[in-house]
């Protein structure tokens, strides 16, 4: 199960990096979101994939029947923080666009104080 998902993660990461390298701030935001998907899934896969259970501490529950709960907790934090950062960056882009009439990072570099 891990192999195909790992390949898909590679596509997400590569695509995310490609968008990060573009000049448009909007594309950079989208690239960042793709990269964070890739990162979350990476942590998830490393915690081993299992089907058909949930981490509820019932009698007789044992590790292996569901995804590693620690990994899940980490990803949950990552999802929320990734969302916060993307939202912040997006608003920043909108604001900059309003002021400059452009969303090109190269043009922003030439903007002085």
> Rounded to an integer, what distance in angstroms lies between the CA atom of residue 10 and that of residue 4?
10
To another protein, the closest distance from the beta carbon of 113 in angstroms equals 14
To another protein, the closest distance from the beta carbon of 24 in angstroms equals 5
To another protein, the closest distance from the beta carbon of 16 in angstroms equals 8
Q: Are 69 and 47 in contact (CB under 8 A)?
A: no
Q: Would you count residue 33 as binding another protein (CB under 8 A)?
A: yes
| Spatial CB neighbours of 46, under 8 Å, sequence gap ≥ 6 | 71
What is the footprint of another protein within residues 43-82 (CB under 8 A)? 44-47, 49-58, 61-63, 65-70, 72-73, 75-77, 79-81
Q: What is the CA radius of gyration of the chain?
A: 19
Q: Would you count residue 100 as binding another protein (CB under 8 A)?
A: no
């Amino acid at each position: 199960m891990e192999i195909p998902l790992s390949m898909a993660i590679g596509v997400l990461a590569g695509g995310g990096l490609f968008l990060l390298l573009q000049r448009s701030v909007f594309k950079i935001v989208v690239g960042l979101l793709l990269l964070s998907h890739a990162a979350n899934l990476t942590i998830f896969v490393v915690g081993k994939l299992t089907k058909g259970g949930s981490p509820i501490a019932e009698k007789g529950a044992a590790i292996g029947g569901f995804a590693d709960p620690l990994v899940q907790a980490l990803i949950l934090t990552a999802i929320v923080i990734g969302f916060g950062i993307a939202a912040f960056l997006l608003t920043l882009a909108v604001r900059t666009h309003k002021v400059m009439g452009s969303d090109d990072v190269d043009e922003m570099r030439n903007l002085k104080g």
